Amino acid sequence: MKPRSIIADIGKSLAIAVWFMVLLFPLMVMKVNVTRGVAQVQFRWNFLPLVGIAAFVLSYAWRIALEWNERRGSNRSGGIFGRAKAVGGAYLAKPAVRTGSLVILLAFAIAFPFLFGMYHTNVMITAFIYVILGLGLNIVVGLGGLLNLGYAAFFGVGAYTYGLMWKYVGPSFVAAGMDPGWLFWISLPLAGIIATLFGILLSLPVLRLRGDYLAIITLAFGEIFRMVMQNSSDFTGGATGISLIPRPWFFGQRLPPTKAATYIYFIAIVLVVITIFVVRRIEDSRVGRALEAMREDEVACEAMGINLVKNKLITFALGAFWAGIAGVVMAAQTTYINPDSFTLWESIIILMAVVIGGTGSIPGVIGGAILLKLLPEYFRALAQYRMLIYGIAMILVILFKPDGLIPRKRKQYTFAEKELSK
């Protein structure tokens, strides 16, 4: 590779800085306000040099990053990072280390609610709900390669199953002298089943469609779901939603909020562990392999004798199931649901957890989901920039690390020694 001339690079970055100063001028420097039909414009000149400097630095960094990205393709394992990764990977691969760290992690997870109190426990519950959602979506996007932009709808189906159970079955439950908290345990499998049915229902029209059409139609489905929930106020409570949903049953006791949070926290942990277990089993199963083949190439996959229709159905059904489960936990935790929790942006955030963490990689998705939920909780000052930062993060990850932060390990055949020594 030719050594880059630094002066030419700086010149280029300067040009880009000027370009951005001009491009962002009306939106950044001028601020509009309309009073009585007359638009008034304020100037914020202090933003102009800021834009210039930021564009200069970023464009310089951008070029280096792009170059690094291209170079990385040619020599993969080289460099200090590669070696560190290899050493770390080998260390982690030792069974003793693995079990040890897992045990520590589990112990920490169990001790968490007692160590940190209710607020943090609740935050963790939301994070766990997102882990379940992320893992569920990962079946669809990561394994099956089908982009689902309406995933929040299944989440909503789960939450509404519990909410509606409470609204319609709850009163007769109470009248019969039973604890309404039982409804949670009834709704949990029920929501999974109903969400699965919805998943199958949705997959029927999309079976014939290719990638991007499928994304759009799932988006349409999600929005329709939200609108129906919003507009059928007699049945679902409309925009106000359903409130006072009971917490899960705990041996007939009415738990104070702190203990209830701890209880739900443990339910969430158990569900997360079950989800991880099942998803891992699916990945290694015949179905999982078929899904991976489908993701790589639909036509070739069909030619290999894999039934695409059946596999797509399974993908959507499995993905929807976990979303339904997560929905029930969510409804139980917040005790209140309304259609606003299931917008398109919700679907996109779940998708982001999968993409940023690592499409198809279970630890990646878990990490991504926890990261996306915890960061905004603990960086409240940046709350208004949240979506902006998420968007930028998503673009950067797709550009520079398309496999995500913790990429999935591909299944590989390893050949015998003599092949390697040649």
Partner 1 sequence: MEYFLKLFLSGTAKGSIYALIALGYTMVYGIVQLINFAHGEIYMIGGFTALILGGFFFSKGMPVGLVLLFSVLLSIMYAAAFGFTVEKIAYRPLRGKPRLSALISAIGVSMVLQNFVLLSQTEKFLSFPSYLPEFSWLQPYKAYINSTQLIILAVTAVIMVLLTLLIKFTRIGKAMRATAQDMHMAQLVGVDVNRVISVTFIIGSALAAIGGVLICSYMGQINYYIGFIAGIKAFVAAVLGGIGSIPGAVLGSFVLGWTESLGTGYISSDYEDAFAFVILIVILLIKPDGILGRTQRQKV
Judged by the rule CB under 8 A, the positions of this chain that interact with partner 1 are 19, 22-23, 26-28, 30-34, 37-41, 62, 66, 69, 145, 147, 205-206, 208-213, 215-217, 219-221, 223-224, 227-228, 231, 297-300, 348, 351, 355, 384-385, 387-388, 390-395, 398-399, 402
Residues recorded for the chain: 422
CA distance 331 to 337: 6
Q: Minimal distance in Å, beta carbon 408 to partner 1?
A: 15
Q: Rank residues 32 and 86 by Cβ distance to partner 1 and give the closer one.
A: 32
Number of other residues whose CB lies within 10 A of the CB of residue 293 = 18
With vertex at residue 332, the alpha carbon angle to CA 116 and CA 105, rounded to the nearest 5 degrees, is 40
What element of type H or E holds 8?
A: helix 6-23
Give me the helix-helix angle, 47-74 and 6-23, nearest 10°. 130
Looking at the Cβ atoms of 122 and 148, the one nearer to partner 1 is 148
Minimum CB separation of residue 312 from partner 1 in Å reads 15
- Report in angstroms how near the CB of residue 57 gets to partner 1 at its nearest: 15
Closest-CA residue to 141 (of 346, 350, 336):
350
User: Residue 228 CB, nearest distance to partner 1 (Å)?
Assistant: 8
SS3 320: helix
> CA 317, CA 327: separation in Å to the nearest integer?
15
Q: Which is nearer to partner 1, 22 or 97 (CB)?
A: 22
Cα separations (Å) of 181 from 170, 185, 249, 367, 391? 9, 8, 4, 31, 39
Q: What's the min distance (Å) between Cβ of 45 and partner 1?
A: 14
- Beta carbon of residue 313, minimum distance to partner 1 (angstroms, whole number): 16
- Is residue 232 within 8 A of residue 238, CB to CB? The reply is yes
Please identify, using beta-carbon distances, which residue of 226 and 247 lies nearer to partner 1: 226
Measured from the CB atom, is 153 or 159 closer to partner 1? 153
Within 246-357, where are the H helices? 257-284, 286-296, 298-303, 308-334, 344-357
Closer by beta carbon to partner 1, 122 or else 230: 230
CA 300 to chain centre: 29
For partner 1, give the closer residue by CB, 13 or 121.
Answer: 13
Of 77 and 384, nearer to partner 1 (C-beta) is 384
Please, are residues 351 and 137 in contact by the beta-carbon 8 Å criterion? yes
Q: Do the Cβ atoms of 319 and 115 come closer than 8 Å?
A: no
- What's the min distance (Å) between Cβ of 239 and partner 1? 11
* Angle value at C-alpha 294, between 293 and 300, nearest 5 degrees: 80
Least separation in angstroms between residue 208's CB and partner 1 is 7
Among residues 165 and 356, whose Cβ is nearest to partner 1? Answer: 356
In the bound complex, what is the minimum distance in angstroms from residue 256's beta carbon to partner 1? 38
- Whether the CA torsion 272, 217, 290, 397 is positive or negative: it is negative
**Measured between alpha carbons, how far is 100 from 106 in angstroms, rounded to an integer?**
10
